[in-house]
Amino acid sequence: MPGLTIGDTLPNLEVDTTCGKFMLHDFVGQEWVILFSHPGDFTPVCTTELAKVAAYTERFEERGVKLLGLSCDDIQSHNNWIKDIESYSGGCKVKFPIIADPKREIIKELNMVDPDEKDATGKQVPSRALHVVSGDKKIKLSIQYPATIGRNVDEILRAVDALQKVANHKVATPVNWKPGEAVVIHPGVSNNQAKEMFPQGYSTAELPSGNDYLRFTNV
């Protein structure tokens, strides 16, 4: 069983967080949510990651994205750890909730378990998993990093921009795409449809196959 991944519906679990208890679907509402897990409180990589997310909170908010962290320790530990995170981030506040999961039940439901890492008592710990959920409660993007590898918050922001772009247009984003750059027209769109759909026009790359599938446009 691969566990929860893209295309799946986020389970509507009740979670206990630093901002109170709620159901996951109520938190998502009609918005985009990034749900991301951490192996444990007061650990070095996690502190650097959460400090960066705290610093980027406004950039996520500008995109209509809500943040929801998870670490397997309890709420009291999270609240003490947040003081370290805010200090390390140079004063950026952790304005988003962090789920507590001391029994490691939620991380199993959400496919956020590191298969190799254990805590000092031998219990499993969360991986650095991240699910981007849209207002329909479906997982649109999912990554899994091991506990030992910190994620790249710039890449997560870029991926959100790409997800929002393809949600609104029949396009896809090519390699290393950044906002403002050309996108490619979805392969399911015929040339006749493309002329209607993209009145601004598009260019087609000439390829040895002679096929005209690589079409760039700006949206």
User: Which positions are annotated as active-site residues?
Assistant: 46
* Binding positions for ligand BEZ, 44-63, rule CB under 6 A: 44-46
Minimum Å distance from CB 118 to ligand BEZ? 9
Q: With binding defined as CB under 6 A, does residue 43 bind ligand BEZ? A: yes
Residue 166, judged by CB atoms within 10 A of its CB (0-12, 13-18, 19+), counts as middle
* Residues 219/198, Cβ–Cβ less than 8 Å: yes
Dig out the tokens for 184 from the structure: 């490619």
Dig out the tokens for 172 from the structure: 């896809």
Q: With binding defined as CB under 6 A, does residue 39 bind ligand BEZ? A: yes
Residue reference for tokens 């109170």? 20
Contact region with ligand BEZ (CB under 6 A), list: 38-46, 68-76, 97-105, 172-180: 38-46
44 vs 188, beta carbon nearer ligand BEZ? 44
67 vs 194, beta carbon nearer ligand BEZ? 67
Dig out the tokens for 18 from the structure: 């630093």
Phi/psi at 211 (5° precision): -80, 150
Candidate residues 117, 152, 186, 214; the one interacting with ligand BEZ per rule CB under 6 A: 117
Three-state DSSP at 17 gives strand
Q: With binding defined as CB under 6 A, does residue 98 bind ligand BEZ? A: no
Binding site for ligand BEZ (CB under 6 A): 39-40, 43-46, 117, 147-148
